[in-house]
């Protein structure tokens, strides 16, 4: 069983450039196959694409910005702890290197992280931000309950 996460960011960069930030920060390998490019890490698969129009509209309506790049993470439930830590390291690397409003969603609608106008907000309502995960956040942040899409 896999857990689905989407990191969506408003940027002028192509999806492949944003994917490269994660790729290099986690020292991953690139698989090219019939389904396109997938980055595989311990316990997860990752792809990058432009944000689908309906998804863009949902984020814009709920969070007030229009993302252009979508990183899709599929985490293997059997290795969730390791995969989640890697995903968060990759997302934080993007936040450090790529300006723009961004969000991290679980299941397509639960907001775990929101960056708006440079301010980082982590969701306090889901329990996703354990002390161990918070220790990996090396930027100023605020904890508060975030809306769902």
Give residue 28's pLDDT: 80
For residue 123, pLDDT over 70 is answered with yes
Q: What is the pTM of this model?
A: 0.93
* Mean pLDDT, the chain, integer: 92
Which of 32-36, 101-105, 134-138 is predicted least confidently? 32-36
Residue linked to tokens 């929101």: 114
Cα end-to-end span (Å), the chain: 23
- As a CATH number, domain 2-107 is 3.30.310.180
Query: Using one digit for the tens of pLDDT, what is the confidence trace for 25-72?
Result: 998 865 555 445 678 888 999 999 999 999 999 999 999 999 999 999
Residue 4 CA: distances (Å) to CA of 71, 73, 117: 11, 6, 26
Average pLDDT value for residue range 13-31 = 87
- Percent pLDDT > 90 in the chain is 83
Q: Where are the domains of the chain?
A: 2-107
131 SS3 class: helix
Who wins on pLDDT, 108 or 122?
122
Residues sharing a CB contact under 8 Å with residue 7, sequence separation 6 or more, in sequence order: 70, 71, 73, 91, 94, 102, 103, 104, 105
Give residue 34's pLDDT: 40
């Amino acid at each position: 069983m896999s857990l689905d996460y989407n990191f969506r960011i408003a940027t002028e960069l192509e999806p492949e450039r944003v994917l490269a930030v994660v790729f290099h920060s986690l020292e991953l390998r690139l698989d090219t196959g019939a389904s396109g490019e997938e980055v595989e890490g311990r316990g997860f698969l990752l792809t990058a694409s432009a944000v689908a129009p309906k998804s863009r509209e949902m984020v814009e309506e709920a969070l007030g910005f229009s993302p252009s790049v979508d990183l899709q993470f599929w985490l293997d439930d059997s290795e969730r702890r390791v995969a989640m830590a890697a995903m968060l390291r990759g997302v934080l690397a993007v936040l450090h290197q790529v300006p723009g409003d961004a969000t991290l969603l679980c299941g397509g609608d639960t907001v775990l992280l929101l960056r708006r106008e440079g301010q980082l907000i982590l969701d306090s309502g889901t329990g996703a931000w354990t002390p161990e995960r918070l220790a990996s956040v090396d930027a100023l942040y605020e904890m508060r309950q975030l809306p769902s899409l």
